[in-house]
Amino acid sequence: VVAAASLGEFERIARYFAPLAAPGGLGLLDDVALIDGPPGQQYVLKTDAIVEGVHFFAGDPAGQVAQKLLRVNLSDLAAKGAVPVGYLLVTALPATRDERWLEAFAAGLAADQAAYGIGLLGGDSTATSGPVTLSITALGRIAAGRAVLRSGARPGDRVFVSGTLGDAALGLAALKGELGRLDAASRAFLVARYRLPQPRLALGQRLVGLARAMMDVSDGLAGDLGHLCKASGVGASIEAARLPLSPAARAAIAAEPPRLMAALAGGDDYELLFAAPPEAESALAALARDAGVPLTMIGQIEGGSGVRVLDERGAAMSLAVTGYRHF
């Protein structure tokens, strides 16, 4: 008898839950479920949970915890090209969370509801003897048949990523006191990237019809690209030297080169990772300029399976860590 926690999340899903999947559940291989909506539309459904001590710190500001919770779900809608509609919320709170905490939590939700044009559809709140445990089920809509699934990548496609990678993992390392030599502004930038994801909703919506397969980077680039490849029945190679890094991440990695792993396998960046055919490249460049978000080509889709990470000389690097383990 193996402790359940020793099985990875993905093995656990594959073994116990994938056999339970409904047709709209896409075999639990994608980020979301799809169900029929009003004429010409589908709903995109996603649920994600965060737990104190696993996904956030007990002392994190309640408003930011609320926003992170909401945004990690919206990020999955973004990665399908969907427009958010609303959400349902479950809170399990220990008695130690006072009204001030709840008030700040609700204020964080209110701010993001205004920012993203959505509202609360329902929820449940319960007591717990354990850590704060929060989950959201987010609902989005998209033109029928237009959701960008994980499964559409083809050999010859280019692999792109939005924004910069590794910031959140470095921010977490900074919060844990592991990053020594870092100026205050860089530190603040990285911590904010960890605490407050920016779901790429507008960008995701404009990638519909350009990207052939898409997901968000939540568990780390290498692992997440592996999931996309598996769903598409392809392999991929990425070039480490092409990974887009923020100035702060560049500084942290210059000080400690092994920190490059944050960009390759660190989680919580919530950027968009997608495959697009070579002929989409100029449209993507225009879109990136328009949206003010960099889109960087980091590698390509190949036949076979698995993800190879190539160093500057084109040699395969070995990755000790292929997926992100929180904390």
* Residues of span 61-90 touching a second copy by CB under 8 A: 85-86, 88-90
Minimum Å gap between C-beta 273 and a second copy is 19
Q: Cα–Cα distance between 284 and 209 in angstroms, integer?
A: 11
Cβ contacts of residue 141 below 8 Å, gap of 6+?
37, 41, 42, 43, 44, 82, 83, 85
**Do residues 159 and 297 lie in contact, with contact meaning Cβ atoms separated by under 8 Å?**
yes
Q: Cα–Cα distance between 12 and 22 in angstroms, integer?
A: 17
**Cβ-count burial 13-44 (b if 16+ within 10 Å, e if not):** eeeeeeeeeeeebbebbbbbbbeebeeeebbb
Residue of 14, 61, 94, 242 that binds a second copy (CB under 8 A): 94
Query: Is residue 16 at the binding interface for a second copy, with CB under 8 A as the rule?
Result: yes
CB-wise, 30 or 167, nearer to a second copy? Answer: 30
The separation between CA 216 and the C-alpha centre of its own chain, rounded to angstroms, equals 4
Residue of 14, 49, 196, 283 that binds a second copy (CB under 8 A): 49
- Segment near a second copy (CB under 8 A), from 29-37, 175-183, 206-214, 295-303? 29-37
CB-wise, 58 or 241, nearer to a second copy? Answer: 58
Residue of 14, 47, 188, 202 that binds a second copy (CB under 8 A): 47
Residue of 68, 81, 83, 113 that binds a second copy (CB under 8 A): 113
Angle at 277 between CA 229 and CA 262, to 5 degrees: 50
Query: Is residue 122 at the binding interface for a second copy, with CB under 8 A as the rule?
Result: yes
Between strands 213-216 and 295-302, the pairing is unpaired
* Cβ atoms within 10 Å of 284's Cβ, excluding its own: 20
Residue of 67, 75, 135, 164 that binds a second copy (CB under 8 A): 135
Each residue 273-302 as x (binds a second copy by CB under 8 A) or -, in order, gives ------------------------------
- Segment near a second copy (CB under 8 A), from 17-25, 239-247, 286-294, 302-310? 17-25
